[in-house]
Amino acid sequence: MRAAAPPAAAGGPGDVEVTLLPEELEGLDEAAVKALYEEKAAEMRAAQRKEDFSDMVAAQASLQKRKIQQRADAKATKKGKGGAGADFKF
């Protein structure tokens, strides 16, 4: 006779807690219960998934870099056209 294994600790990485109501299980065969479980587990994983902000950060960095470059170009163009700070030689 084998001893029952202790229950696994809840909340581990990759664990998903799914709540199924008895009304949802009435009249379902084993395959339908399995499909319902998989659907609920997928919903919970999707809700727990952290959003990836790397694309937004990269876009913001690119925008910032472009603005800095435009300011530098405008400053260089303004300086080269003989503005108020231009050096005159006689």
Per-residue pLDDT of 24-34, as tens digits, reads 878 888 888 88
* One domain, residues 57 and 73: yes
- Whether residue 90 is contained in a domain is answered as no
pLDDT band at 6 (very low <50, low <70, confident <90, very high): very low
Q: Which residue has the higher pLDDT, 75 or 63?
A: 63
Residue 52, φ and ψ in degrees, nearest 5: -90, 115
* One domain, residues 45 and 58: no
pTM higher than 0.75:
no
pLDDT at 70: 92
Q: What does the alpha-carbon distance between residue 5 and residue 17 come to, in Å, rounded to a whole number?
A: 20
Identify whether the C-beta of residue 20 lies closer than 8 Å to the C-beta of residue 36.
Answer: yes
Whether the pLDDT of residue 63 is over 50: the answer is yes
Q: Which residue has the higher pLDDT, 1 or 61?
A: 61
Four-CA torsion 50, 52, 56, 59, nearest 10 degrees: 170
Q: What does the alpha-carbon distance between residue 59 and residue 1 come to, in Å, rounded to a whole number?
A: 62
Q: Domain of 37?
A: 17-49
Percent of the chain scoring above 70 in pLDDT: 70
Number of domains in the chain: 2
- Whether residue 35 is contained in a domain is answered as yes
